[in-house]
């Protein structure tokens, strides 16, 4: 299905929180609070059969009582209610949902049955689903924070996609104090519908996204993923942190999101073929985010090295060579511009 109806997810004019709650600390309460805290510019609707108002907003008892179909529904109700709700929303005219609720594919056959029923309820209406078992989505430029995160990302040009909700909050904990912004923050969870391939297709042509970062445990549709990754990598940097390298890690990934992690060597070859850059740790992903946020696209493969010590310059030159980059030679007017800032016994050095 790829990018069909993804605009309803990421450019909604109205949002309904199904399962909104006045209870402090509840997921439904935090999601509704975050949408208001971010000052979402569209219409916000709340649904809960047990309350008439929450924080001054009127609450509807069910989907049918809403004044009109919301572009986006955020569902935080128990898993057994989800297939019915998805069917009702689809019939009503909603075309996108974020399913925060857990208890699906990651919990065995019963959960997988609910997952299948949810997808079957969505298909006749072309209703797109992010999740289940996810933190939610953010589009900071539109002041959309449909998550239960304790922090809202500032606007920027980096998209961050993750199967793990904990990695979403870890990235925000690191990035927000540094004022590193994002175009999209998407917690994909169990990927019953919208997956990495769909998101890469969508973001490849998104003018507000300059680079894409992925935290990935497994891929659900290999051919679609490879096609989307190749296309995205041609237009902007795509960096990936793949978890589940070891056999034990792969088993842990399966129990986490219900997605098979697969052989790491296969993933490594696939990333290289698609033109994606693989990083090995979360710290490297943080470094990549900071570098991309603070720099612009480089036009060539040569960079100047500015250092206050020879050893550091040699190490930097070696690192460039290992990445097939080259230290540019400085000369002529460049020399004359640099020399006034140097001590009398120093002069620019030319590597290579």
Burial (CB count <10 Å: 0-12, 13-18, 19+), residue 283 = exposed
> What is the structure's pLDDT at 256?
45
**Residue 304: partners with Cβ closer than 8 Å, 6 or more residues away:** 327, 328, 330
**Residue 63: partners with Cβ closer than 8 Å, 6 or more residues away:** 16, 18, 47, 85, 88, 89, 92
> What is the structure's pLDDT at 159?
98
Whether the Cβ atoms of residue 268 and residue 137 lie closer than 8 Å to each other: no
Length of the chain: 352
> What is the structure's pLDDT at 5?
97
End-to-end, the C-alpha distance of the chain in Å comes to 51
> What is the structure's pLDDT at 350?
58
> What is the structure's pLDDT at 148?
97
CA gap 104, 113 in Å, rounded:
8
Does the pTM surpass 0.85? The reply is yes
- The pLDDT tens digits of the residues spanning 161-197 come to 999 999 999 999 999 999 999 999 999 999 999 999 9
Higher pLDDT, 252 or 5: 5
Task: Give me 155's structure tokens.
Answer: 């606007």
334 pLDDT more than 60: no
CA gap 129, 192 in Å, rounded:
7
Whether the Cβ atoms of residue 159 and residue 175 lie closer than 8 Å to each other: no
Task: Give me 78's structure tokens.
Answer: 């128990």
- The pLDDT tens digits of the residues spanning 56-74 come to 999 999 999 999 999 999 9
List the one residue out of 27, 8, 121, 117 whose CA is nearest residue 69.
Answer: 8
Task: Give me 93's structure tokens.
Answer: 């005219």
Half-sphere exposure of 247 toward its Cβ, with a 13 Å CA cutoff? 0
Q: What share of the chain is helix, strand, coil (3-state, %, to 5)?
A: 45, 20, 40
> What is the structure's pLDDT at 233?
97
- The pLDDT tens digits of the residues spanning 268-316 come to 999 999 999 999 999 999 999 999 998 877 666 677 777 777 788 888 8
CA gap 196, 3 in Å, rounded:
11
pLDDT > 90 in the chain, percent: 73
255 pLDDT more than 70: no
CA gap 330, 307 in Å, rounded:
14
Name the pLDDT band for 248 (thresholds 50, 70, 90). low
């Amino acid at each position: 299905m790829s990018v069909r109806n993804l605009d309803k997810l990421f450019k909604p004019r109205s949002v309904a929180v199904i399962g909104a709650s006045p209870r402090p600390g509840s997921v439904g309460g935090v999601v509704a609070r975050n949408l208001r805290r971010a000052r979402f510019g569209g219409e916000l609707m709340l649904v809960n059969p047990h309350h008439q108002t929450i924080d001054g907003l009127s609450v509807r008892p069910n989907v049918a009582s809403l004044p009109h179909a919301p572009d986006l529904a955020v569902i935080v109700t128990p898993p057994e209610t989800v297939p019915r709700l998805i069917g009702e929303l689809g019939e009503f005219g909603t075309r996108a949902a974020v399913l925060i609720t857990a208890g699906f594919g990651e919990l065995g056959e019963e959960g997988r049955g609910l997952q299948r029923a949810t997808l079957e309820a969505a298909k006749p209406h072309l209703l797109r689903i992010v999740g289940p078992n996810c933190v939610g989505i953010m589009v900071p430029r539109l002041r959309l924070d449909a998550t239960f995160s304790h922090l809202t990302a500032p606007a920027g040009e980096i998209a961050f996609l993750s199967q793990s909700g904990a990695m979403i909050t870890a990235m925000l904990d690191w990035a927000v104090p540094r004022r590193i912004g994002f175009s999209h923050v998407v917690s994909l969870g169990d990927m019953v519908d919208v997956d990495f391939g769909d998101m890469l297709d969508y973001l490849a042509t998104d003018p507000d996204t300059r680079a894409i970062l992925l935290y990935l445990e497994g891929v659900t549709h290999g051919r679609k993923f490879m096609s989307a990754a190749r296309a995205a990598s041609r237009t902007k940097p795509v960096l990936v942190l793949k978890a589940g390298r070891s056999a034990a890690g792969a088993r842990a990934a399966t129990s986490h999101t219900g997605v098979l992690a697969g052989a790491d060597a296969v993933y490594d070859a696939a990333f290289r073929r698609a033109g994606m850059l693989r990083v090995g740790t979360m710290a490297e992903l943080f470094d990549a985010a900071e570098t991309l946020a603070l720099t612009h696209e480089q036009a060539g493969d040569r960079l100047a090295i500015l250092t206050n010590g020879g050893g550091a310059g040699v190490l930097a030159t070696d690192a460039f060579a290992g990445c097939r980059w080259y230290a540019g030679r400085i000369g002529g007017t460049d020399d004359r511009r640099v020399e006034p800032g140097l001590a009398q016994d120093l002069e620019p050095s030319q590597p290579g």
